[in-house]
Copies of this chain bind each other. A is one copy, B any other.
């Protein structure tokens, strides 16, 4: 009998010990995962590729992204159009399969970290690309402007990059403000889109608020959402008018969450100070309209404003950001300051949860 008791206790102990080990192992496994893409693993379309990793909400995921030049521009003498193979623009890391994400849900992606992986950034003019250039779509009879490459050295201490004029001696330091040019999921309608394109699924938004500390909300169109990221930017002006920012490979850490049974039509972004709706289309006024209509509807649905009141208030306090006017679709964000939100105190979004995750 005694032995029985002992055995029972032993079993109990062993059971709990095993649970404990699993919990530890589990927490070790699930809380923090790393995926470093090998050559050949980058993706060149946003679409239904085989996942490279399955992740869960609140896991910290560490990964890296290659620059928009596919890592092929290795010196200021490398001409992008000569060294990048066809259809190798804007390589994407991923896709990450998010367990539990289903069509009709919203995926929240919170960026925890974004750091340049090398000691330089690169910018260039691509022929037939750019807001002040003839392009494949704004198709005029002029030859393109001359292809050029600007090489920006990074000063990690000052957190700056250095612009050097190609003609003359002018040079200046520009503060880094890293963000991901591309963040997207598999598109609706079973589409696969070139990684240069932004649309409702996110993608090449080139929107500087896709940065550490902020949360991006994307529509889930397929099971697992299939999250892609890439095209790190160290610095970018509004509109990205020459067609490229200061481009860099990046070290990234992020965490995701799922909002079940609530869909967003277009990407949304949340910072501590703003909620933002992001529209990507042509002409530029349609991108602007998409973003601003979505914001009015957001104010109505989640914050209880009547539609005309929402339209009026956004009209007076809204900030409109032109992300880029160079990609196949243009991107504009409508930003609403949280301080003017009715009932904002009650706001309980993934952003507030995810930003507390220690990393």
A contacts, CB < 8 Å to B = 44-45, 47, 87, 123, 125, 130-134, 136-143, 145-146, 148, 150, 163, 165-168, 170, 172, 174, 188-194, 196, 235-246, 265, 279, 281-286, 288-290, 292-294, 296, 304-309, 311-320, 322, 325, 330, 332, 340, 342
Contacts and interface: CB of A to CB of B under 8 A. Distances in A.
**So how many copies of this chain end up in the complex?**
4
A167 B309 contact: yes
A95 to B, nearest CB: 15
A239 B122 CA distance: 33
B141 A133 contact: yes
A313 B173 CA distance: 11
A32 B243 CA distance: 49
Contacts of A45: 189-191
Contact of A282 (B47, B282, B316): B282
Given A132-B139, A141-B307, A167-B308, 10 more contacts: A45-B190, A45-B191, A140-B293, A142-B142, A163-B316, A238-B319, A240-B315, A245-B316, A282-B286, A284-B284
A314 B188 CA distance: 32
B289 A139 contact: yes
Contacts of A340: 163, 172, 174
A15 B142 CA distance: 62
Contacts of A134: 134, 140, 142
Given A192-B192, A311-B132, A317 B174 contact: yes
Contacts of A196: 189
Contacts of A133: 140-142
Nearest to A194: B189
Given A239-B288, A316-B246, A322-B320, A296 B141 contact: yes
Contact of A87 (B167, B190, B296): B190
A219 to B, nearest CB: 13
A141 B250 CA distance: 32
Please give me the 7 A-B residue pairs with the lowest Cβ-Cβ distance, nearest first.
A238-B320, A167-B306, A237-B318, A242-B315, A284-B284, A139-B293, A189-B194
A293 to B, nearest CB: 4
Contacts of A190: 44-45, 87, 192, 194
Contact of A191 (B191, B293, B311, B316): B191
